[in-house]
Amino acid sequence: MACPGDRALQNSVTQGNLDQQAFRRSRSLIVGIALIGCAFLGWRGPTMLRFAGLQDEDCYAIPGLTILENGIPRLPHLPSRNLDSPYYRSDEAAYLEPPLYFYVQALFYSILPDIYGTARLISAIAGIVILFSMARLAVLCDMTVPAALWGAGLFMMSRWFYFNATQARPDTLCSAFGLLTILATEAWIRTRHRKWLITAGALIGFGGLTHPFALVYAVQMAGWTALTERGWQRLFVPATLAVVAIFVACLWLPLILFLPDVFAIQFQNQFLHSRGGSIFVRSLWPWQSIAFHVGFLWPHINPWQFCLALLGPVFCIWHGQREHNALLKTVGWLSISGAFLLCILVGAHHPVFGYFSYPSALAFIGVGYAIDHMLSWISTKFRFGRVMAYTLAVCLVVSMLMGSGIRVTAAYLQNWNNVSFNGPRFAHDLLRLLPEDATYLVDEEFTLDFIRDGRKTIAFRAIIEGSLPESTPYDYRIEGRSTDRYFRGRNWDDTLEWTVGEPSEPHGIYARIHRRHQ
């Protein structure tokens, strides 16, 4: 019979072995995600830093500059006085989106060059935070390290992720706050340490200061905590989340009180309009909204990656039920409900690809789990199972290259010294050709560069979207690829003077300079 001292020693050795295994597992996970993050930056970095302005970046990349001037996020190139426009008096203060992303942007501009690439770095860093959060959540669901890395790695390659994580938009940062909120809420449920509950509420608040779609995970966390509590705690815990979140979101108040009437008009026109019908009606009959967003996402994401995102939560729920894994089931339901709530909140009037990076990240946790199970099963089931599993793994990775932008990246690397593949340098050379005292109507590809250079700038969208009258005077119109893509058939009262760059090059940068008729 073993004496108590022997049992204590044996327990100590066993605990030490478990600690060593946990340490090695954590180290493998961190190293793996770090490598995935480095692969993402190495792959996307050249284009992210060198692209000219992309869709909507003429709005999202500008306020950081004006914050450095007077502390107020503004859109000086959108001086609208149209009461029906979301840009109403946005040259004085911009309330179209909550301001946290813009203040982070100002911090980046104060350290790094004020170019589009710097604004995009915020999304890239937020994207890496999402990858780390996915891996951590996967491990908490009792997945293996390979399963966690499969989910994060395939998501990094997917179109669900890379568009949003390489553009100057608040979507990815808001999604990152959502994943961190889930981790904090899970820690509260597991440990009952109140600091995690407060942290979760604060993260919801910071998400709300970044983008209104944070309401999605605010609703989800309230529901999750209510379902896991008993008695009066069912109300107290969600209420605590709400109070902390609202307290943090109130950091926007000083800016709102600066021009409350402008805030009311911009916010009404941007978020409280009647397009798409009422939220109540959409909640009762959501199919039109769901069909609308699926109709845009299916071709944009591509059918294969769209179906992968459907597989993930289904596998989480099925396997979680089978293994009595409550957190795994919760991840599946959070993914499904997140996509559903996004469809309901946005309605059938505006495609929003970036918002879906939040539920799709949760879905790919399940994708990684399914792939790890499948490869393990193949490895042990068949005679040449390891070879078959390796071949299938390679095929999965290769399949994610469809629509991944690899040809664009290759074109930028092959033309590294070509000014038409270097947005900041192209804009610098273009500005040197133009008079400093003129007024410019500028495409979104060059708006940031013209404003940074102190030129009198009017955004192309200001006239296209009716924020400014068509009679608004300008001297030159700077037209780029996005103009050709969206507004080729529109007539203007100006004449083409010359072209910089080569429009026939499918991936390069070019500009057509038009002079207005006098």
Q: pLDDT tens across 149-163, in order? A: 999 999 999 999 988
- The DSSP 8-state label assigned to residue 511 in this structure reads E
d(CA 407, CA 415): 12
Q: Is the domain of 135 the same as that of 267?
A: yes
Q: Is the domain of 208 the same as that of 321?
A: yes
Q: Is residue 87 situated within a structural domain?
A: no
Tell me how many domains the chain contains.
2
The two tokens of residue 89 are: 């008096």
Q: Is the domain of 442 the same as that of 368?
A: no
Q: Is the domain of 283 the same as that of 389?
A: yes
**Contact call for residues 161 and 361 (beta carbons, < 8 A):** yes
Question: Among the three residues 404, 433, 449, which one is the final residue of a domain in this structure?
Answer: 404
Q: Is residue 392 situated within a structural domain?
A: yes
pLDDT value at residue 354: 87
**Contact call for residues 330 and 224 (beta carbons, < 8 A):** yes
> Cβ atoms within 10 A of the Cβ of 499, count?
12
- The DSSP 8-state label assigned to residue 493 in this structure reads S
d(CA 356, CA 216): 11
Q: Is residue 213 situated within a structural domain?
A: yes
d(CA 132, CA 180): 10
User: 287: domain range?
Assistant: 95-404
Q: Is the domain of 428 the same as that of 392?
A: no
Cα distances (angstroms) measured from residue 408 to each of 413, 415, 505 = 9, 11, 11
pLDDT above 90 coverage of the chain, percent: 76
Q: Is residue 5 situated within a structural domain?
A: no
Q: Is residue 27 situated within a structural domain?
A: no
Q: Percentage helix, strand, coil, to 5, in the chain?
A: 70, 5, 25
Q: Is the domain of 354 the same as that of 449?
A: no
The two tokens of residue 407 are: 């040809």
Decide: pTM greater than 0.95: no
pLDDT value at residue 483: 81
pLDDT > 70? residue 7: no
Q: pLDDT tens across 213-224, in order? A: 999 999 999 999
Q: Is the domain of 376 the same as that of 433?
A: no
The two tokens of residue 122 are: 């915020």
Q: Residue 6: pLDDT band by 50, 70, 90 thresholds?
A: low
Q: Is the domain of 312 the same as that of 443?
A: no
Q: Is the domain of 364 the same as that of 246?
A: yes
Q: Which residue, 477, 448, 451, is CA-closest to 464? A: 477
pLDDT > 70? residue 329: yes
d(CA 137, CA 418): 43
Q: pLDDT tens across 453-489, in order? A: 999 999 988 888 888 998 889 999 999 988 887 777 7
For the chain, how far is it from start to end, CA to CA, in angstroms? 105
pLDDT > 60? residue 8: no
d(CA 29, CA 241): 30
Q: Is residue 55 situated within a structural domain?
A: no
Per mean pLDDT, which range of 239-253, 307-321, 479-493 is the poorest?
479-493
pLDDT > 80? residue 326: yes
d(CA 461, CA 296): 22
Q: Which residue, 297, 271, 302, 398, is CA-closest to 357? A: 297
Q: pLDDT tens across 186-244, in order? A: 999 999 999 999 999 999 999 999 999 999 999 999 999 999 988 888 899 999 999 99
Dihedral sign for Cα 175, 183, 303, 295, please: negative
Q: Is the domain of 349 the same as that of 469?
A: no
pLDDT > 60? residue 251: yes
**Contact call for residues 327 and 186 (beta carbons, < 8 A):** yes
Largest CA distance in the chain: 105
The backbone torsions φ and ψ at residue 457, rounded to the nearest 5 degrees and listed phi first, read -125, 135
Q: Is the domain of 466 the same as that of 388?
A: no
pLDDT value at residue 24: 81
- Per-residue pLDDT, averaged over 78-85, amounts to 92
pLDDT > 60? residue 361: yes
Contacts of 306 (CB under 8 A, 6+ apart): 297, 298
Q: pLDDT tens across 380-435, in order? A: 888 788 899 999 999 999 999 988 888 999 999 999 999 999 999 999 999 999 99
Q: Is residue 21 situated within a structural domain?
A: no
Strand ranges of the sheet holding 510-516, from the earlier edge strand across to the other edge: 456-459, 439-442, 476-479, 510-516, 494-501
pLDDT value at residue 314: 96
Residue type, 116: Y
Q: Which residue, 301, 371, 373, 369, is CA-closest to 339? A: 301
**Contact call for residues 222 and 241 (beta carbons, < 8 A):** yes
Residue 230 β-bridge partners: none
Q: Residue 277: pLDDT band by 50, 70, 90 thresholds?
A: low
SS3 at position 348:
coil
Q: Is the domain of 395 the same as that of 435?
A: no
Q: Is residue 320 situated within a structural domain?
A: yes
pLDDT value at residue 283: 78
Q: Residue 491: pLDDT band by 50, 70, 90 thresholds?
A: confident
